[in-house]
Amino acid sequence: MVALGNVVPTAATLAQQLAQVGDFLQAQGKQVTFVGNQVQFETAQQAARYNALITPLATQQRDLMNGLPPLLPLLKPSL
């Protein structure tokens, strides 16, 4: 159960950060454009804020994935 205790806060942090990114992008309205897999802003301040929100996501996702292996046997369906 200790492993689950580590995964839940990590998943919650990642979900909260993703929601903040989505809220930020929505708040930009027409001042943000999406071109392929790129996000473009009208001002350097917008880009800096976006980068500050996005930067921790890779680490948070890695931490979540590293915490999952001990839980995988619990997720297998029983026959």
What pLDDT is stored for residue 73 in this prediction? Answer: 64
**Does some domain include residue 13?**
no
Rounded to an integer, the average pLDDT of 70-77 is 65
Answer whether residue 68 is part of any domain. Answer: no
pLDDT of residue 1: 44
Q: Is residue 41 one of the residues assigned to a domain? A: yes
42 lies in which domain range? 29-61
Average pLDDT over residues 13-35: 96
Looking at the 3D structure of the chain, how many domains does it have?
Answer: 1
The SS3 of residue 73 is helix
User: Under 8 Å CB-to-CB from 7, ≥6 apart: which residues?
Assistant: 64, 67, 68, 71
Question: What does the pLDDT look like over 31-45, one tens digit per residue?
Answer: 999 999 999 999 999
45 occurs within a structural domain: yes
Average pLDDT of the chain to the nearest whole number:
86
